[in-house]
Structure 1
Amino acid sequence: MQDDPKTPGALPGVLAAADPESDDFGGPAGLIGEARWMVWLERAAGILPAVILLAMMALTFGNVFMRYLFRQPISGAFELMSYMLGLMVFLSLVLVAARSDHVRISVLDGFLPDWFRRGRAVLVNLILAATSAGLGYRLWLYGARLESWGEKTQMYGLSTGLLAKIMAVSTMICAVLFVLLALKVMLDRDALSRVES
């Protein structure tokens, strides 16, 4: 008994290649291409957010365990979780921008011509770039103000100004990536499906 091929024209018994536009596979998307260095760079950029998420899970488990078994929760756990959450979200934002994985609604895409979709993709990415750059600039100013005030968290004395500056740098990187995405759509006719996948 032979398996039915998943794609039209595929040979029976032969695995079809992964669809690069599919959300089920970590294939090329956005600015991430098939080049080995791009894949490794993407993986390296995902290590720190993954480690932070793992630390948050371990801290949550440890805090619940200590609270219910020894009636002594970890002091400052909420403070650490809040700090790590900010780091994780904004460091992950760079990967979302590079892969063009932000939320989009594509209900009418099947009816729209390619030239319209290409123009829309360029416009949307330039708006995202301007928004990210403005947000990054304001976050940097806010971080500098917090540092000048010597603002730190209550329990562990973590610098909130440094956190705001890390958020600012990651949103500025996102602004550059959105500009590159807009340029890619303008210069490469085949890039639209990877940017709007």
Structure 2
Amino acid sequence: MASTSPKRPSRIGLIWLGLSKVLGLACLVVLFALIGMICVDVVARYLFNSPLSGAYELTELLLATLIFMALPLTTQAREHIEVELLDGIANRGFRLLTLFASVGVTSIVFAVIAYQIWHHALRLQRFGQVTDSLEIPLYLIGFLGAASCLLSAVVIYLPRHIPNALDRSRD
């Protein structure tokens, strides 16, 4: 009787596992900070007639941060919105071809977006752009967005995508 041991994750898989845990925890912290700040702002505004200074700017920045940090997690889990137009008429080979094409195109689009955001963030940094009331540098969000898109362009190639997409298309 042969024992079947679970397959050990690759080094890249272990790196992604650790990174995804860090990103997930960071998303959780940002979300709780956003919720707490909004609660404090609402209570201060309506009970004490003294709104939290800069709450609008912080809400914008925290939402952008949350979206950018969750993007690689969403990409790797294949949780983006998909339109499956040809699944009913295609054979397995054609589904595999369209899967590889969509992964390739998605990766290229993420890389181009990362490049554009990076250059925009460099311009923001060069000109010293900051938020209006709190004077938080805007280039920080730009660099986070560029890194997030670049990471999304890479994690879409993790092996987990191919079996999941093929399994889903069989349903």
| Shorter-chain TM-score range | 0.7 to 0.9
| Kept in 1: contact 2:114–2:145 (CA 8 A) | yes
Aligned position for 2:115: 137
Aligned with 1:83 (options 52, 61, 69): 61
Do residues 193 (structure 1) and 171 (structure 2) align? no
CA distance in 1, matches of 2:107, 2:22: 23
CA distance in 2, matches of 1:72, 1:114: 62
CA RMSD of aligned residues (A): 2.6
Counterpart mapping for 1:1-197 below 5 A: 41-106=19-84, 109-178=87-156, 180-181=157-158, 185=162, 190-193=163-166
Q: CA deviation at 1:191?
A: 4.9
CA distance in 2, matches of 1:113, 1:194: 13
AA in 1 matched with 2:60: S
TM score, norm. by length of structure 2: 0.81
Question: Which structure 2 segments of 5+ residues have no match?
Answer: 1-12
CA distance in 1, matches of 2:122, 2:168: 35
User: Comparing both structures, which one devotes a greater share of its residues to helix?
Assistant: 2
SS at match of 1:81: helix
| Kept in 1: contact 2:110–2:150 (CA 8 A) | yes
SS at match of 2:52: coil
AA in 1 matched with 2:95: R
Are the structure 2 counterparts of residues 38 and 124 from structure 1 closer, same or farther at C-alpha, using a change threshold of 3 Å?
A: same
Q: CA deviation at 1:98?
A: 1.2
Work out the number of aligned pairs and report it.
158
Are the structure 2 counterparts of residues 139 and 69 from structure 1 closer, same or farther at C-alpha, using a change threshold of 3 Å?
A: same
CA distance in 2, matches of 1:181, 1:40: 14
SS at match of 2:135: coil
| Kept in 2: contact 1:123–1:182 (CA 8 A) | no
Q: CA deviation at 1:42?
A: 2.8
| Kept in 2: contact 1:79–1:153 (CA 8 A) | yes
| Kept in 2: contact 1:121–1:182 (CA 8 A) | no
| Kept in 2: contact 1:125–1:182 (CA 8 A) | no
AA in 1 matched with 2:166: S
